[in-house]
Amino acid sequence: MKTDSFDVLVIGGGPAGLCACAELSRCGIKVLLVDEGPVLGGQLVKQTHKFFGSREHYAGVRGIEIPDKLQEEIDEKLITVYSSSTVVGIYPPNNNVLIYRDQKKVEEHSFKYIIIATGASENMILFENNDLPGIYGAGAVQTLMNQYGIIPGKNMLMVGAGNIGLIVSYQLLQAGCRVKKLIEAAPSIGGYLVHASKIIRMGIPVQTSTTILKAIGTEKVEGAITVKLDENWNQIEGTEEEIEVDTICLSVGLAPSYKLAVHAGCKQIFIRELGGMIPWRNSSQETSVNGIYIAGDACGVEEASSAMIEGRLAGLNIAKCMKRLSEKACNEKIDDNLISLDKLRSGPFGERIVEGIRKLEGKSYE
């Protein structure tokens, strides 16, 4: 095993992980940052649209530009980055960690403190032929077109009218693809009206109370059959419609990716509002296992702006435990971040999250 000169391991270099690194390095703490993607930034590297939120959290800035801004906050001398590397296991009590370095060889390290900031993964829904090549998660479509410059398909069916479905539809137009239709099973769109408005006025038809019944094709997608739903979400016979598409894009929600926390023995609880099963954590972002923290989408699917704050909170709380900053200075910064989080969540779209956090704080993990 390697003798380690790092104080903290941060797993995942999305907004949560990068902000954790920023706070830790500001306190002079040495960090190993491991990310399995080839570049840092997590989901941000494919978000070509300007972000919502407040200016302190880079609202009005395109997502793709945020990772550079966050990295400017980090003292490079204190952070070592292993990119294209995956953390595959955490073994308490000494927090021995296995890292699959460069996707080629396994290394073992141990850390007193670990921050899990592994983001979320995409949900799947049931329909006939849903495993056919040409059916992609919305994130995959974004990766292909915005990260690697590839047109993911000529004619698309988009499934799901939450913010991601709406935004990715717009991004598809920007990449020169045709979105033939956007369908949503719920009776109304789930995302922001402004996102829906901008694709509808550009001619993408949005159909609510409609779902996908079947993908057509044998080797790859050649079409799809959609069907209307009644108030009780039952399929209405005779409303099936066939549509010719070469790609089906699913944006039907995300679920926290926290397998590493489970592996490390962190206790989980079920909170629907935060995306289902999640590791329990306290308001310092610490899990039930001493020294293991979690932040961002990995502990509740939300937004980049809140992921950033949670990352900062995890970093600051570790700095506090390590006594690298006076308790008073730490507490002040922690309070500022907690206030920003409250502000972000104070609108109608934050209600669900606030309810989830309330449940989380009311429950212990036993």
Binding positions for other proteins, 213-272, rule CB under 8 A: 219-220, 257
Which residue reads 């429950």 in tokens? 363
In terms of DSSP bridges, do strands 268-271 and 276-279 run parallel, antiparallel, or are they unpaired?
Answer: antiparallel
Give the footprint of ligand FAD on residues 211-250 (CB under 6 A).
Answer: none
Q: Is 352 in the site for other proteins (CB under 8 A)?
A: no
Q: Please tell me whether residue 202 binds other proteins under the rule CB under 8 A.
A: yes
Neighbour count for residue 345 (Cβ, 10 Å): 20
| Site stretch for other proteins (CB under 8 A), options 18-26, 56-64, 232-240, 275-283 | 56-64
Reading the block at residue 248, the tokens are 């089906």
Using the rule CB under 6 A, is 34 a contact of ligand FAD? yes
* CB of 316 closer than 8 Å to CB of 283: no
Which of other proteins, ligand FAD, none binds 48 (CB below 5-8 Å, type-dependent)? other proteins
> Does 91 help bind other proteins (rule: CB under 8 A)?
no
339 within 8 A of 54, measured Cβ to Cβ: no
> Site residues for other proteins, window 153-192 (CB under 8 A)?
153, 161, 173-176, 187-189, 192
Under rule CB under 6 A, residue 168 binds ligand FAD:
yes
- What's the min distance (Å) between Cβ of 356 and ligand FAD? 15
Given the complex with ligand FAD, which of 16 and 22 has the nearer CB atom? 16
Alpha-carbon distance 242 to 226, whole Å? 7
Residue with smaller CB distance to ligand FAD, 53 or 217? 53
Q: Shortest approach of ligand FAD to residue 192 CB, angstroms?
A: 9
Using DSSP bridges, classify how beta strands 247-250 and 268-271 pair: parallel, antiparallel or unpaired: unpaired
> Does position 93 bind other proteins by CB under 8 A?
no
Among 137, 139, 153, 217, binds ligand FAD (CB under 6 A): 139
Chain residues 272-331 in contact with other proteins, contact rule CB under 8 A: 305
The CA-based diameter of the chain, rounded to the nearest angstrom, is 69
Nearest CB to other proteins, comparing residues 126 and 194: 194
Give the integer Cα–Cα distance in Å for 330 and 340. 16
Going from the C-alpha of 80 to that of each of 22, 39, 56, 65, 187, the distances in angstroms are: 13, 14, 26, 22, 48
- When asked if residue 55 is in the footprint of other proteins (CB under 8 A), the reply is yes
Residue 69 touching other proteins (CB under 8 A): no
| Binding flag, residue 17, other proteins (CB under 8 A) | no
Task: Please name every residue paired with 248 in a beta bridge, in sequence order, or none if there are none.
Answer: 135, 157
Considering the rule CB under 8 A, would residue 148 count as an interface residue with other proteins? yes
Residue 197: its H or E element: helix 193-200
Nearer to ligand FAD, 17 or 291 (CB): 17
Structure-block tokens of residue 71: 């990295």
Is residue 138 a contact partner of residue 165, using CB atoms and an 8 Å limit? yes
Alpha-carbon torsion (87, 91, 95, 97), positive or negative: negative
Determine contact, residues 116/294, Cβ cutoff 8 Å.
yes
**Closest CB to ligand FAD among residues 165, 217:** 165
Please report the sign of the dihedral spanned by the C-alpha atoms of residue 154, residue 189, residue 184, residue 219.
positive
- What is the dihedral sign for C-alpha 63, 69, 75, 81? positive
Cis peptide before 93 (omega within 30 of 0): yes
Residue 194 Cβ vs other proteins, minimum distance, rounded to whole Å: 3
The rounded Cα 234 to chain-centroid distance in angstroms is 31
Residue 194 binds: one of other proteins, ligand FAD, none (C-beta under 5 to 8 A by kind): other proteins
Instruction: Identify the residue among 305, 317, 337, 340 touching ligand FAD (CB under 6 A).
Output: 305
Q: Which of residues 244-303 bind ligand FAD (CB under 6 A)?
A: 257, 260, 296-298, 302-303
Q: Residues in the site for ligand FAD, rule: CB under 6 A?
A: 11-17, 34-37, 42-44, 47, 51-53, 86-87, 117-119, 139, 164, 167-168, 257, 260, 296-298, 302-305, 307
